[in-house]
Structure 1
Amino acid sequence: MKLLPLIFAFVFCSLSAQKALPLDTLKLKEAKDLFADDYGNLYIYKNKDFSLTKYDSLGKQIGKMMLTVPFKIQGVQNPLSVPLFSENAQELKFVDQNLNEIQRIDFKQKFAFIKIAYAEDLQQIWLLDESSKRLIQYNFRNDTTINSYPFDASFDDLMDLLVYENKVYILTRKHFRIYSLKFEKLTEIPIENGKRFRRENESVLIITNNSILKYIPEKGLVKIFEDPDAQIVDKNTLAYFEIKANNLYLYNLEKIKQAKQESEPEPGNTEKPVQKTPEQTGESADKSLEKVQDKFIKDQSVEKPADTTLKKLLEETAEVQTVGI
């Protein structure tokens, strides 16, 4: 019986961590990418008609931008100035909080062929020039080239670029690479379906089709969110977002953290006994219970009634107690 309070708390936290957001499935259909800013606003990009639409957290449309050629949205961490780059048009646009264009930078007259652009701030852009094989630091406010570095990397399947603390982060569909500004390869890690970078303070994140990875120098790439059934995933500082079966879901970070804390066993004696004791057997049962609980979190969906999922967890827990004791 002492397990019941833990089970009830665990079920409550897991169910409340996921929340369906009120966006019509028609608005999400054919979405190519999803972005969420820290104010809870959502941006849907559709490659079919090259449109970018912004909604508030209640699903009300705030703005819409129709583009004539494909554009890549860098990110919406600064919703007052959102950068969009078009390889086809060889230009970079900045749009405001209502998706009105506030500035356009044309690269055709000054550079050969820009493969991808990364707007570092509201003054500087990093450009990968495919023709000259150079990485260029460009100040678009005063139209000057600050630095230019030889960069003879492969431009095939290039998805995104990020420059941070004198390191160049390159993302393709199948690889994550880090170079120095002298074109020395520092790191290479294989990935699947790489899409774009997201930087949060000192952390570099990678968004794939259905997962979010965090780069930790000592560990490599650590998966911090994944749903194999998701079509698109993203995050802001408060939550993870995913489009699954043309529905939009939010996972609250605080609720996820709370659920993990509830599932952690109480600290106990770390000494290892020589022989198996009844306490050891109890620990094995507890570990088996943790596996059941982990499986329960992965199987959760907001569309499942709470009483059904609780009944399932209680049945699986009973099986664990029968085997472990």
Structure 2
Amino acid sequence: MIFVFCSSAAQKVLPLDTLKLKEAKDMLADDYGNLYIYKSKDFSFTKYDSLGKQLGKMMLTVPYKVQNVQNPLNVPLFSENAQEMKFVDQNMNEIQRIDFKQKFGFIRMAYAEDLQQLWLLDDSTKRLIQYNFRNDTTINSYPFDISFEDLTDMLVYENKIYILTRNHIRIYTPKFEKIFEAPLVNGKRFRRENDTILVITNNSILKYNPEKGMTTVFEDPEAQIVDKNILSYFEINGNKLYLYSLEKVKKPKQEKQPESQPEIIQESTGKPTENSEKKPDETQPEGKSDHTLEQLVEDVREVQTEGVERLTN
């Protein structure tokens, strides 16, 4: 995995007080910079702007899983306990509810593909169901006999079924052919950005690459919760909310170089490689120092100091 998180990339601490962040079970950020805090203690789901002003709040009666908030006008939430999916608007008002109890067996996971179709994992029949909730019709139904142990999320994109558990990501075709599997730690949910599939865990964000597998794009082992939108990474750490610029996080990866590579140092000084081994001119008058060698040593010290500061920061 590629470790690219750097604490020096922090731009600012966002002004959400610790009482709002305390006991947060999950946090999501939409692409407008609004933040959503879910607390399992009282099943509350609260929306704030980037300055900490509350924009809306829902008090739920049973646990719900928030699928994503990328479209803040239509946020899908699924409850295994209530066997229903609901959609809320930008003010956190419920705009639609879909009851699965009357039509299906026991739905363990639901994914809203768009504003018409749902994908449902039915545990009682071990089937994957493509359901049009606008006209109440089942489009397709596929045998899907997977283990539902520790199942945390599902995503369907380009005829691939992405299944996430706490310890694995698995990708299938609709015919239940496994095409990819990889271990991970504390998987929480998927996020799709165009063709990019991301996995959010407790303290890291991973990217799926069909050729390379899973690579880490953001990580902080001390974070309690992490998330991202199209512009920034977010984390809750010590009941404080931090925002990191995507460019700032990528920069350490591009600049970080091993300290013991002489060619990198020499490129910084603008001197050719052989200068580092060149002896002082033996015909030089006694007592006169070799200015070229002294300057090179001084440049090397400056570059090494700068490299250490980047790594330690």
TM-score bin (small chain)? 0.7 to 0.9
Aligned pair 1:79/2:72, yes or no? yes
Question: What is the rounded CA distance, in whole Å, between the counterparts of 1:111 and 1:217 in structure 2?
Answer: 34
Higher helix share: 1
Count of residues paired in the alignment = 283
Aligned to 1:65: 58
Q: How far did 1:292 drift?
A: 2.7
Task: Measure, in 2, the Cα distance between the counterparts of 1:150 and 1:104.
Answer: 26
1:18 CA drift (Å): 2.6
Write the deviation string for residues 192-233 of structure 1: whole angstroms up to 9, x where unpaired: 011100000000000000000000111111100000100000
Gaps of 5+ in 1: 1-12, 298-325
Instruction: Quote how far apart the aligned CAs of 1:37 are.
Output: 0.4
How far apart, in 2, do the equivalents of 1:156 and 1:192 lie? 15
Deviation at 1:254, TM superposition (A): 2.8
Aligned counterpart for 2:156 among listed residues 163, 182, 187: 163
Partner residue of 1:123?
116
Q: Post-superposition shift, 1:191? A: 0.4
- Structure of greater Rg: 2
Would you say the 8 A contact 1:14–1:255 is kept in 2?
no
User: What's the offset of the Cα at 1:261?
Assistant: 5.3
> SS at 2:56's partner residue?
strand
Question: In the alignment, is the contact (CA less than 8 A) between 1:176 and 1:191 conserved in 2?
Answer: yes
Aligned residue in 2 for 1:252: 245
Match of 1:174 among 158, 164, 167: 167
Deviation at 1:260, TM superposition (A): 5.2
1:184 Cα deviation after fit = 0.7
Cα distance in 1, alignment partners of residues 137 and 185 from structure 2: 37
Unaligned runs of 5+ in 2: 1-5, 258-263, 268-272, 279-292
Separation in structure 1 between the aligned mates of residue 92 and residue 233 of structure 2, nearest angstrom: 23
Letter in 2 for 1:152: D
Instruction: Report what 1:141 is aligned to.
Output: 134
**TM-score, normalised relative to structure 2:** 0.83
Partner of 1:295: 311
In the TM superposition, residue 252 of structure 1 has moved relative to its aligned partner by 1.1
Query: SS state of the match for residue 92, structure 1?
Result: strand
Secondary structure (helix, strand or coil) at the match of 2:223 reads coil
Measure the CA separation in 2 of the matches of 1:67 and 1:267: 62
RMSD (Å), alpha carbons: 2.9
Identity of aligned residues (%): 71
Residues of 2 paired with 1:191 and 1:44: CA distance?
24
